Amino acid sequence: MVDVTRSSLFAFLGAVFAATSVMAGAFGAHALKTILDPSMLAAFETAARYQMYHALGLFVVAWLWRETHSPWAVKAGWLFCVGILVFSGSLYIVALAGIKWMGALTPLGGLSFIAGWICVAWTAWHTGRDH
C-alpha cells in the first residue's frame, strides 16, 4: 500500500497557498493599486509572487515524496510552508498594516525557502544516484 498521506497533504497545502496567492494578487492589482504607495504595492506583489512560486514547489515536494519517501522531501515541504508564512506573511503585514519592523523577518522566510530548495536538490540528487 502506498503512503500518500504526506503527498496529499503537501498537494493540498500547495493548492490552498496557490489559490490564496491568486486572490492576493487580484486584491493587490485592483483594490490596493489606488491605496498603497508604489513601494508598499511592490512589497505586496512580491509576497504574492513568492507565495505562488513556493505553492508550486509544494507540488514538487508532493511528487518527490510519492516517488522517494525521502525525509528530505518532507523537510522541504515544511520549509516552504514556513517560508510562505514568514516571507510572504511579513511582507503582507508591512504593506497592509504599515508595521515596518515586520520586514526584519522577511529574510528568515527567504532562508527557509533556500533551505527548502536545498532539501529538494538533495532528494533529487540522492534518488538519481540510487538507480
Q: What is the pTM assigned to this prediction?
A: 0.93
What is the Cα–Cα distance from 33 to 14, expressed in whole angstroms?
27
Mean pLDDT (the chain) is: 93
SS3 (DSSP) at 116: helix
The backbone torsions φ and ψ at residue 22, rounded to the nearest 5 degrees and listed phi first, read -65, -45
Residue extents of the structural domains in the chain: 5-130
pLDDT digits (tens, 9 = 90+) for 95-131: 999 999 999 999 999 999 999 999 999 999 998 665 4
What is the Cα–Cα distance from 27 to 66, expressed in whole angstroms?
35
Cell of 10: 503537501
